[in-house]
Amino acid sequence: MRLVRFGAPGEEKPGLIDDEHVLRDLSHEIDDIAGSVLSRDGLAHLASLDPKSLPKADPSHRLGPPVGRIGHFLGIGRNYAEHAKETGAETPTQPLLFSKAPSAIGGPHDDIIMPKDATKLDYEAEIAIVIGEEALYVSEAEAMDHVAGFCLCNDVTERTFQKDRGGQFIKGKSSPGFGPLGPWLVTKDRIEDPQAFDIWLNVNGEPRQKGTSADMIFSFATLVSHISHFMKLMPGDVITTGTPAGVGAGMNPPRFLQVGDIVTLGASGLGEQRLVVVERKS
């Protein structure tokens, strides 16, 4: 299934995209794509529905993030071999885990807001894992049993905040608009091989990133298992899992985003995003 949330920010309704690419309204079946709806039983119920029996929704609606009530919004640093090389840093021996503020989350076509005092705004096309079942001390072999599905993410980052302002990466990862998700959540059963996603990102039509999740240092299963040994993962938690080479900070000279830039990105089977960098209004 391709699950979506549509409507104004904070007022999104649950829906799905059927096989004919029609937006269907799920709000008479569930209150949101969140919590227990993402469990095996919850997704099985949605899969049992005849999409054509669901009301059509106006396709002009804004698409919001495809998951609601997200608790943990986690990221993994330097998890693609080629990206690790371009940073000039050592290849990690364990996943580099950081947090992004849930308030950074937005929809796939929402604006990227230039933060106050930002000078090095960067992009990172990524695949995000959405947790469906509680996970604590799970093995790699059972890790994917706890995953509801996958969605596209742009792990927007302000590099000065991330690296030069002290503390942890969260400072450079959490401004409003720094976590666009979607357009849809694709349930795990629709993904034949999660380690074979093709990923790309363009800035103003210029190709910047092109890679595959086969280049990941730590697999999706490894990440879920590893993180579950430090915290209990809950349904609706999102883990964005690293980016291919080609980020602005890795170019020579570096090329960072400016107000007015248009960032487009996508991944095979997970749809596309189109994001415009805008000035902060206040």
Over pLDDT 90: what percentage of the chain?
A: 93
**pTM of the predicted protein model:** 0.96
CA distances from 242 to 96, 137, 252 (A): 10, 22, 21
- Tens of pLDDT, residue by residue over 36-50, are 999 999 999 999 999
pLDDT of 258 over the 90 cut: yes
- For the domain spanning 69-278, the CATH number is 3.90.850.10
User: Tell me, what's the pLDDT at 166?
Assistant: 87
Which segments of 49-207 does DSSP mark as H helices, in order?
81-87, 140-143, 159-164, 170-173
Question: Average of pLDDT values for 263-268?
Answer: 98
SS (H, E, C) 97-163: EEECCHHHEECCCCCEECCCCCCCEECCEEEEEEECCCECCCCHHHHHHHEEEEEEEECCEEHHHHH
Distance CA 211, CA 244 (A): 5
Closest CA to 244 of 211, 196, 206: 211
Cβ neighbours, 10 Å, residue 214: 13
- Tens of pLDDT, residue by residue over 62-104, are 999 999 999 999 999 999 988 888 877 788 999 999 999 999 9
Over pLDDT 70: what percentage of the chain?
A: 100
pLDDT of 282 over the 80 cut: no
